[in-house]
Amino acid sequence: MLVEITPKSHDVDIDLIYGKPDNFTGSAIYQRPRCWLHPHTAVLLVRAVDLARRMGLHLKIYDAFRPAEAQWMLWRHLPDPDYIADPRRGSPHSMGAAIDLTLLDAASGEELDMGTSFDDMRPLSWHGDTAVSVTAQRNRTVLLGLMTAAGFDYYRNEWWHYQLFKPRGRYPVLSDSLLAEPMM
């Protein structure tokens, strides 16, 4: 049901933040981090990779499929619906329908300045926030443009979050147990 995304299969960098302790919870959520997406999301990712490549850019993934169990862990740590989807509603991540990512310069491999780090839970991380540098605003706009051109919807409070349009009700919330080798 889910497609594994790897650097080799999809020409992306992968740094699954919740597989390491240096995320906002202070501990690793995924014990065996792997990058998975719903097949519909994976098709759009291929389009986004191609658009980025044409611009001399490369995509770096921070998070993709997030088992329902992981969503509950994040919610218990920060029950703020502005930044963490309430697991009772279902997170698009837990459907394989969302991806968190940034842009790299393809030549240097350096991350582009987005004005904040991933999972910066402040209005400074919102799309269109003008308190970040003009360079960061431009980079966010480039990411937004290529991801929406690829067919993704975005979440206004997080410059890094993109998802399928209206995934709730169209895709089921998935548990870690569906994976042959669970992440949790």
Active site (annotated) includes residue 110 = no
Cβ contacts of 22 within 8 Å, gap of 6 or more: none
Residue from 4, 110, 111, 158 carrying the catalytic annotation: 158
Over its C-alpha atoms, the chain yields an Rg (Å, rounded) of 15
What token pair was written down for 26?
A: 């202070």
CB 180 within 8 Å of CB 57: no
Q: Catalytic residue positions?
A: 158
